[in-house]
Amino acid sequence: MIAIADYDTGNLRSVSEALRRAGAEFVVTSDIGTLRRADKVILPGVGEASASMARLRERGLDTVLPTLTCPVLGICVGLQLMCRSSDEGGGVDCMGIFPVRVVRLPEATPEGRWKVPHMGWDTIGELRTPLFAGLDEETYVYYVHSYAPQCGADTIAVTDYGMRFSAALGRGNFFGTQFHPEKSGAAGARILENFLNMK
């Protein structure tokens, strides 16, 4: 069984539709017992990190999710909440699964000016782990974000947009994408399929 963690944040519908297209059976739940019994867990997210982290804490999910032993996939803000901290909303401590900080994308660098939020199609490179099996370097995926995780030892894909940031992170059974695989066409469908096939 696949569980989509429900903590009253966005993109539940688009993630659900992507799983339906993949032929996967799933439940949308905030029930701790159901999440512990799941074979896979997806932590979606759209919105602001500090408010989203507060909702996770209200449901007790901030202490449960880091203890899961099944494959877990965070998407966009879901990934950011799995990091050590986020600068968004004045700064907030997050779950610390990935020991990296989430920072705001720059609007100006010596190379030029950058429109923030970073919205639309962009490439990912330096792909590692089975999450990206069958994908080529510089594959295009879909982004909508103003903040992103810094790069570190757990970086498994990168994108450059004003700065080099972690397009995806992976550590043990935990994975996360800053982009939206559920909105990334065939490439995103392949990433979700790879995740669903993990043991």
Catalytic one of 76, 88, 94, 145: 76
Q: From CA 24, how far away is CA 40, in angstroms rounded?
A: 11
Q: Which of 70, 118, 180, 193 is catalytic?
A: 180
Identify whether the C-beta of residue 131 lies closer than 8 Å to the C-beta of residue 187: no
Concerning whether 145 is annotated as a catalytic residue, the answer is no
Q: Which of 25, 58, 182, 193 is catalytic?
A: 182
| β strands within 23-78, DSSP E | 26-29, 40-43, 72-75
User: What sections of 49-143 are H helices per DSSP?
Assistant: 49-58, 61-64, 77-81
- State the Cα–Cα distance between residues 64 and 162, nearest whole angstrom: 35
Question: How many whole angstroms separate alpha carbon 81 and alpha carbon 75?
Answer: 10
CA distances, 173 to each of 21, 93, 102, 160 (Å)? 24, 21, 21, 26
The answer to whether residue 83 is catalytic is no
17 given a catalytic annotation = no
Mind telling me the catalytic residues?
76, 180, 182
